[in-house]
Amino acid sequence: MLQQLPIRKTGCPNGGQFVADNDNNIDAVIFSKADLTLNGAGTLAIETDGGHGVVSKDDLVFTSGIYKIVASGHGFSGKDSVRIANGEFTIVSGKDGIQAENADDTSLGFLYIAGGTFDINADGDGLSAGSYAQLDGGTYTLLTGGGSANAAVQEDKWMGNFPGWEDTASSTDTVSSKGVKAAGDLLINSGTFSMDTADDALHSNANLTVSGGTYLISTGDDGLHADAGLTITGGSLEITESYEGLEGQTFDMTGGEIQLTASDNGLNAAGGNDQSGLESFGGGRRGPDSFSSDSSAYIHIADGTLHIDASGDGIDSNGSLTASGGQTFLSSPDNGGNGALDYGSDATITGGIFVAAGSSQMASHFGSASTQGSMMVSVSSQQAGSKIVLADSNGTELVSWTAEKAFDSVIVSCPEIVKGASYSLTAGTDQVSVTMDSLIYGSSQAEGSPSAAVRCCDMALYVTAGQSQKARIRPNITNRPPIDGGRFCKQRIKFPG
């Protein structure tokens, strides 16, 4: 059983350096070549400026206890696994707070936490697993890499070396400073999380599933990122700051409540690895998605409540988009460089409530395969905070929502919209009467040819298979054509194919 121990601080007599014992590369205050289990009701306090706090070269297990760790390396590290049943953990680390990693066998190095209280301030990742990770409970306060205010600058994607378009991006390697990271699948069933991270808050190199828990997230990168599938089946997530709110090759939402703010796309199905499938042409760290479609990418919203406030696209799928249930409300900017919806192949709505406000210049709508009525209506420019209300011919209110950003285009879909009926749409100061001559009222504005009309602010528009794709262009040029009242410039750029 653990007893009350004084802080064991390295630094004397060997100047803060650990000394090897025969063939054992000892690099922690408590070091075991075999399994190590810590249990009891006592307190263990460690401070080391020369290595890790506690290391096991096999399985590292905690069943209870109070732990106060200050380490220049990892707080805790288990080669084959780290397993925590309960306890109180306060960790300040120069690398990862808790790490499980086996470089010799990638099937090992998993992390399992059943419960406990975790207060972690890490220069690296808060919790890191070289294999899979599963969290079934616990209370987590995680600060990584100095927090979201210390995040690396996110670069826009520029379009190479076109004449007059300067590319000043530079490639820099950054330390991983994620909240919870797994090289394999990451499954979170429960827990309370308060996270301020320089890098992704929740990250998986494979599949990420959230089925419960409460989350308050501020991040300099993605709120939730999965290289493969991102699935939300439950839980309450509030993402107050992010680059992209939710990102995966695929996205499925069957429950839960999500409210997010993003400086780029709110919800993105892009594919690829931690670079989000989005490598900058000039080598920059990141950027919005390229103009290539991906048939394997999709977004499916089946249930739950989703609120998106995005400075890029509200929802962006390089493949398909399907809404079959739940409630979705999204705001995107009215600057013409982004749209409420952006998809690579098709968009279908078959159920639920869906309301979106954004720019009419980049407006995309649901397609003809939809089985639920939807209307897209252009209005005069409305201020942020304007209310959107849809009523039927009897004056019965069907949908009401307040947009977070200015807008001049509105999409509304709900089960009560049927072909042949008339409705009244109020959007801020405008009121529009709509008769549903077809199930889908209003067509996408982003249609055209393989050429790209370059808008002088910051974007280029591409068209493949009748759908819009886009990439960023940096506006620091000296010979750009006139803005022409904010409309598309007359200059056009031809692309192969």
Take residue 313 and report the two structure tokens written for it: 């696209």
* pLDDT string in tens for the chain (497-residue length): 334 444 444 443 345 566 556 666 677 999 999 999 999 889 999 999 989 999 999 999 999 999 999 999 999 999 999 999 999 999 999 999 999 999 999 889 999 999 999 999 999 999 999 999 999 999 999 999 999 998 876 554 433 333 333 333 344 457 899 999 999 999 999 999 999 999 999 999 999 999 999 999 999 999 999 999 999 999 999 999 999 999 999 999 999 999 999 999 999 998 555 543 333 323 333 444 433 567 899 999 999 999 999 999 999 999 999 999 999 999 999 877 788 999 999 999 999 999 999 999 888 999 999 999 999 999 999 999 999 999 999 999 999 999 999 999 999 999 999 999 999 999 999 999 999 999 999 876 543 322 233 333 333 333 333 333 333 332 332 233 333 333 233 233 333 33
For residue 292, the 8-state DSSP code is -
Closest Cα partner for 179 from 158, 168, 192, 195?
A: 195
Alpha-carbon span 440 to 419, nearest angstrom: 8
- Residues 6 or more apart whose Cβ sits within 8 Å of residue 396: none
Q: What is the CA radius of gyration of the chain?
A: 25
Take residue 36 and report the two structure tokens written for it: 């190590």
Closest Cα partner for 125 from 103, 99, 152?
A: 99
Whether pTM exceeds 0.85? no
Alpha-carbon span 132 to 28, nearest angstrom: 24
Q: Which amino acid is at 449?
A: S
Count the helix, strand and coil residues of the chain and give each as a percent rounded to the nearest 5: 0, 45, 55
Take residue 124 and report the two structure tokens written for it: 């690296």
Q: Which amino acid is at 40?
A: G
For residue 149, the 8-state DSSP code is G
Alpha-carbon span 68 to 75, nearest angstrom: 9
Q: How far is CA 230 from the centre of its chain?
A: 10
Helix (H, G, I), strand (E, B) or coil at 9: strand
Contact criterion met (CB below 8 Å) for 298 and 324? no
